[in-house]
A and B are shown apart, each in its own frame.
Chain A
Amino acid sequence: MPVHPYIPNSDPEVKKEMLRALGVKDAEELFAVIPEKIRFRKNLNLPPSTPEYEVRRHVEQILAKNKNSNEMLTFVGGGCWPHYVPAVCDEINSRSEFLTAYTGDVYSDLGRFQALFEFQSMIGELVGMDAVTFPTYDWPTAAGDALRMAAILTGRHEILVPKTINPDRLSVMSNFSGSLARIKHVGYDRQTGQMSLEDLKSKISTNTAAVYIENPSYLGFIETDCKEIGEIAHDKGALFLVGVEPLSLGILAPPGEYGADIVCGEGQPLGVHMSYGGGSLGFLGCHDDERYLSATGHRLISITKTKREGEWGFTFVLPERSMYTGRDKSACITGTSTILWAITGAVYLSLLGPKGIKELAETIMKNSYYTIKRLSEINGVRVPLFNSPHFEEYTVNFDKTRRSVREVNKALMKFGIQGGKDISSEFPELGSTALYCTTELHTREDIDKLGSALDEVLR
């Protein structure tokens, strides 16, 4: 083995010196702790050691087969949304002091504690909650944790969710809440998409741990009866859980104001690149109540003082709840989460500021409505399916064109356009329907280009 640049002690002289200090002839002696009969004595079928230039060239050549959203027009969302990432976000999350740190305490890693506290503070303002936990992997897993908390807090095990929820997200929530929660669907109004209050009232009972809704919903419309839904839940002693896309909170009321007990959501829009779905960050806020905080398995940090006047420090809250102490007695798993993205989210939100986030949310909503208007002009296209306000996503139905979403999307690809997510198998009752997404990235020309392409595809 030649000396490898990542391994200082691969220099044979250094290694010899260290082995001498150990009184060992050969490193092989040290591996004697593994029983010989299970040692792997062959060569792994892997490539040989490769210089940096060749690795880079090889990987870049493979990645070059991807077509990114700078190279085509992308109108797809569905849990990951194309947004502009300010250069400052990348500058800060490339800082190797943040990038390569892990679990140092507040004395060595004050920076990540403070940035995380600031992220929690800004999320608290957006969702209207005083307590925000460590972030988790993504929205679906944060929602799963919210379900677990609700079951623990109420001692009940039934969770009601809208039928309009993303089935993939529901699958994650189910795997995360495990045996603690049985999930039941509540039907929706076919005209508006809104959760049916009648159906909710017929299904809710004293077995219900929580009612979970999303705003905006997976299908893009805004659930407008949330206050009523929350009251129906509370009347039966159930909790009210709300999942959110955070930029919409530039114009939508914070769920904490309309009765939510736990709010979760996806932080990817806050300055994190999509990276094929790799850039996710789940957040969770709740009442600043010892019972609630005890019910979460996530780590929690509080701001505090230090020995020196005027100096900020941070400390863990109720550390014994997490699996690190509780092991099988703890409420859920935690561990390596998504702190680099929380730091990024803090940077993003402090760049936007209060006016910026409102303007951004307005821009997104206006661009969406412009797209809705433009696509509505196309013969046979119905958009949106639901007569309700929409934020950045909306259903586009092609039934009258007798084309499947798959066919439409394949044809759009020839125009350099990625169409919306095909939801026709997730919601067969909605026919040939796609979920489209418009954000601040789409100019009027981009949207008109989509319109003309669809004109032609569906002609």
Chain B
Amino acid sequence: MEDTVKVVEREMAYRAVAWNEPIIYQLSRSGRRGSMVSRPDEKVNATVGHVLSKIPEKLRRKSLPKLPELSEPEVVRHYIRLSQQNYGVDSGISVGVGTCTMKYSPKVNEALVRSPKLAEIHPLQDEETVQGALEIMYRLGKWLCEISGMDEFSMQPRGGAHAVLTNARIIRKYHELKGELDQRNEMITTVLSHPCNGAAPAATGFKVITLYPDETGIPNVEALKAAVSKHTAGLMMTNPYDTGVFDKNIVKYIKIIHEAGGLAAIDQANANSILGRLRIGDVGADLCHFNLHKSFSTPHGSAGPGSAPIGVKKELSKFLPVPVVAYDGTKYYLDYNRPHTIGKTAGFYGVIPNVVRAYAWIMSMGEEGLKETSEVAVVNNNYLIQKLLKIRGVTLPWNESHPRRLQEARFSLQKMKEETGIGVDGLNRRIVDFGIQRCFLAHEPPIVPEPFTPEPPESNSKEDLDQFAWAIQRISDEAYSTPEIVLNAPHNCAITEVDSSPSKDPKKWALTWRAYLKKHG
């Protein structure tokens, strides 16, 4: 296999950049500076006098804050080196990072949002001067309605969990207005949903009931029937799951919840496999959200800022966080006139640069491109599944009931762990040696033993998938023949195995440099 040989040569040659870069405080030298600050002119100085004396003595800073002192070139070099020790979607293969939809973020969209026409506008400017920003927010909202089958969107939530919290607040408000909040104090979720579907309703004051999958990988309809009662406020769950399984009972669940008087909020954070193929609003969902940093290509930013617009049905639009962008036929405006609003769940209106990026991405894809996205994402995933299942020690739980998956799949290395002692921890420490991003394992609790969850979105080539599969194959071979290579990994990374003992030891952990100096200095 000529192709495989090429892959081996390339991947085996990988060496990460290892600068052994000091903490910036260790590079500091008293007297250096990295910026020249604007100072007031003489007239201003003369007019205002010693303003600092207006601050009462007790509130004045006595000594300068201990910030590092470096020149501009030194600051640049330090952070460029740190960036070189980071691994983005642009750096290589991030197929392992499931649930995250590590797709390509188009460069043209960066150029658009970094324009002063967006970057330098203030959220409280006169509406006449921000018509462009409002127009794009409004138009994206309409497009997301079309894609989801919902009636109205809010761009306010700044991350997926934030959106789920906002939806939980809306469900709460809905029952409060009906005078049933005291009675309806239970929220139902499923354990394979994203954890925020449990955490957010709990943070909103609901008691959370969690359904577990039966032997087919999804909950039993009877289990839901047994869980609903007059206390049911609603259902908050993810579909498709991050096992890549589509929960086909969704229609039944929603019907049961509605009959019990609850609302259904279906988490569409990862909608990459269903774009143009399923609209959760058509299925009966009352609320949903999308993660623009997943399905809609906005860059993940090393973990944010993301953006997660929420969509609701008409009956719930009166509860949306204020303001909502509206259009009166000639002008766009911020509509605060929603007497039943939940209020606000973040400052201002959302991560607007991501709104613009998503708008531009959808336009580039177009209607047929969205369908092509979901098609290729699903083809990619099933192609990868059949490759990985040929590897010794790798299994796919629920393979019998769900041989085909949507956007991703949750595999298990339990067999390999039992046979070689090497499981997913070893896999993740070794795979980075090949210049491939580590794998996402799974959210807690451990339903699948020794899990790992790759997701190959549409922007990955067949060659990427072959290389990823090659690396898993290689690690399996090593685990069964030369396990010490895996056990001592990583070998080619910026650093060697870390000491994780400070994780639970208050005497050792240090979340800041000053704490480090106090405890270890």
Contacts and interface: CB of A to CB of B under 8 A. Distances in A.
Contacts of A176: 165, 203, 345
Interface stretch (A102-110, A204-212, A395-403): A102-110
Interface residues of B, number: 218
Residue in B76, B79, B80, B496 whose Cβ sees the most chain A Cβ within 10 Å: B79
A451 to B, nearest CB: 12
Given A33-B404, A137-B346, A102 B514 contact: no
Residue in A111, A329, A366 whose Cβ sees the most chain B Cβ within 10 Å: A111
Interface residues of A, number: 208
A278 B306 CA distance: 10
Contact of B438 (A104, A132, A409): A104
B414 interface: no
B360 interface: yes
Contact of A125 (B67, B81, B129, B133): B67
Interface string B99-114: 0101111101011111
5 contacts: A76-B122, A102-B100, A102-B102, A141-B346, A354-B64
A310 B26 CA distance: 13
B20 A311 contact: yes
A441 to B, nearest CB: 8
B238 interface: no
Interface string B293-337: 100010111111110000000000000000000000000000000
A444 B264 CA distance: 57
Contact of A110 (B37, B85, B364): B85
Nearest to B69: A353
Given A324-B195, A333-B162, A356-B35, A273 B23 contact: no
Nearest to A308: B496
B383 A48 contact: no
Contacts of B299: 96, 99-100
Interface stretch (B1-9, B273-281, B415-423, B476-484): B273-281
A122 interface: yes
Contacts of B76: 88, 91-92
A325 interface: yes
A413 B128 contact: yes
Contact of A224 (B56, B251, B458, B509): B56
Interface in A331-387: 331-341, 343, 346-347, 349-360, 362-363, 365-367, 369-370, 373
A95 B511 contact: no
A142 B399 CA distance: 43
Contacts of A304: 498-502, 508
A275 B353 contact: yes
Given A137-B159, A323-B161, A413-B128, A33 B246 contact: yes
Given A44-B370, A110-B495, A307-B497, A250 B40 contact: no
A231 to B, nearest CB: 12
Contact of B87 (A30, A35, A97): A97
A359 B356 contact: no
A121 B514 CA distance: 7
Given A48-B367, A306-B496, A359 B37 contact: yes
